[in-house]
Amino acid sequence: MAPSPVHVRFAPSPTGYLHAGNARQAVVNFLFARGRGGRLTLRIDDTDRERSRPEFEAAIEQDLAWLGIGWDDKVRQSDRLLRYAEAAESLKKTGRLYPCFESEEELAAKRALRAKRKLPPVYDRAMLSLTPEQRAAAEANGKTPYWRFRLSEGAIGWDDLVSGTRDIRLNTVSDPVVIRADGTPLYTFTSVVDDLDMGITHVIRGEDHITNTAAQIDMYRALASRRALPDFAHLPLISELSGDKLSKRSGSVSLRTFRRDGIEPMALAAYLARLGSRRDPEPLTLGELAGTFNLDAFSRGAPRFDARQLLALNRRVLHAQPFEAVADRLPEGADEAFWLAIRDNIDLLSEARQWWEIVRGRIDPPELPEARAMLEVARATLPDAPWDEGTWKEWTMAIAASTGIRGKALYMPLRLALTGETQGPELAGMLPLMGRDMVVGRLERAVR
């Protein structure tokens, strides 16, 4: 792999769909790499054999592509199992990996006892004193060991690019399990091997990995003591407006839901790029965002995902979209005149269908007995062809001259009669789309 001044990775697990939290990490890693002429590796962390699914892996790639995020290369951890086994053997030889035989029930009992004594739930390293004879006896009884990494003494510290100086005493952390009894390597270990092999220069992820980072730095040093460590940046986790941490299975914030509801990928990417930073979201492309992207802008406080703010940004993005950018997602038959008439009055592209039905379909206007006389005048003064954006002004001036009615008392009944809605796009643009015959029909129904 060619050397690069910056090489980052986005490492999702294919155990579910992308949600706003991990999509934000993808956006941040992408912008950090692109803004510095670096590389982004998509690493599929699929060592969880029971929960990993190929359909989720495919969905992750589709969602990233939808957001506009590309990657320079892709790695699948399930293809690197021999490499992890090789690295594990080297740590076993130096005594940094040791076998353990406790069952889940035994470990739970130990945690409960420590809690009762008001001690932190740290593993007691009982298996470090296991004799060769005791290990042989356990294996003879059908037990297969799982393996823990023996952490060093002292503390691990680093200068985090987001959260500042971090210092974690390793005696407050359990020796992490890195290989299950079935031989499956776990994330804490495989990530270190991958980062070393791939020359990752920056690890940018959520702050829920801070304790992992301390253990992983210890592993980096155990595997490659003379190699430079990556720089670390831990982003505060996004919470919902309720204050709860976003869940991978929270359908309200999955990228699938955003796509279904008509959120523009540019709006979502721009929102996630600035969420939790000192800079307000703007309707910018990823390319524009990359040019000024900096991790220094992120604060240490947990940002809240505000759907209203995203919707407002989505509205700004839509209002600037030319017809060509949305043509293939509009209802069949919708043309540029239709798009230009409605785009300033929608929050989501999915709302375009509603206005297409109003323009070309059938509506049931409300009863307007108090406006019947005015609507009869409106029908009688309706201009003949040609119809264009000037027709509305000409028509309403004629109605006002005949009835003396102006302002809201004039415009609201007309809007209700023609669209069935109390608000919406300017009728100057809608009228030519409806055509004279449709307008006549709707006025007649409203009068009846």
Q: Give the pLDDT of residue 265.
A: 96
Q: Give the pLDDT of residue 421.
A: 92
Mean pLDDT of 279-299: 94
What single letter denotes the amino acid at residue 417? Answer: A
pLDDT-derived band at 16, boundaries 50, 70, 90: very high
Mean pLDDT, rounded, of the chain? 92
Mean pLDDT of 388-405: 94
β partners of residue 8: 40
Q: Give the pLDDT of residue 367.
A: 83
What single letter denotes the amino acid at residue 260? Answer: R
Tokens matching residue 432:
């030519």
pLDDT-derived band at 254, boundaries 50, 70, 90: confident
pLDDT-derived band at 243, boundaries 50, 70, 90: low
pLDDT-derived band at 248, boundaries 50, 70, 90: very low
pLDDT-derived band at 2, boundaries 50, 70, 90: very low
Tokens matching residue 101:
């035989």
Mean pLDDT of 323-348: 95
Q: Give the pLDDT of residue 322.
A: 96
pLDDT at 400 over 50: yes
pLDDT-derived band at 4, boundaries 50, 70, 90: low
pLDDT tens for residues 65-103? 999 999 999 999 999 999 999 999 999 999 999 999 999
Q: Give the pLDDT of residue 246.
A: 54
DSSP conformational letter for 298: B
Mean pLDDT of 362-380: 89
- Report the candidate in 156, 160, 200, 157 with the shortest Cα–Cα distance to residue 298: 160
Q: Which residues contact 370 (CB under 8 A, 6 or more apart)?
A: none
pLDDT tens for residues 105-121? 999 999 999 889 988 88
Please state whether 447 falls in left (phi above 0), alpha (psi between -120 and 50) or beta.
alpha
User: Is the pTM above the cut of 0.85?
Assistant: yes
pLDDT-derived band at 252, boundaries 50, 70, 90: very low
In angstroms, the CA 191 to CA 401 distance is 77
Q: Give the pLDDT of residue 242.
A: 57
pLDDT at 325 over 70: yes
Mean pLDDT of 9-26: 94
- Determine contact, residues 404/359, Cβ cutoff 8 Å: no
| Packing angle of the helix pair 265-274, 307-319 (nearest 10 deg) | 130
- C-alpha distances (whole Å) from 384 to each of 358, 380, 432 are 21, 11, 12
Residue predicted with more confidence, 369 or 92: 92
pLDDT at 288 over 90: yes
Mean pLDDT of 29-52: 95
Mean pLDDT of 305-325: 94
- Report the candidate in 439, 56, 29, 46 with the shortest Cα–Cα distance to residue 235: 29
Q: Which residue has the tokens 């989720």?
A: 56
- C-alpha distances (whole Å) from 136 to each of 133, 142, 144 are 5, 10, 10
Q: Which residues of 286-310 are buried (b: 16+ CB within 10 A; e: fewer)?
A: beebbeebebeebeeeebebebeeb
Q: Give the pLDDT of residue 290.
A: 96
- Determine contact, residues 271/309, Cβ cutoff 8 Å: yes
pLDDT tens for residues 131-169? 999 999 999 998 999 999 999 999 999 999 999 999 999
Q: Rounded to a whole number, what is the largest CA-CA distance in the chain?
A: 107
DSSP conformational letter for 418: H
pLDDT-derived band at 245, boundaries 50, 70, 90: low
- Determine contact, residues 293/35, Cβ cutoff 8 Å: yes
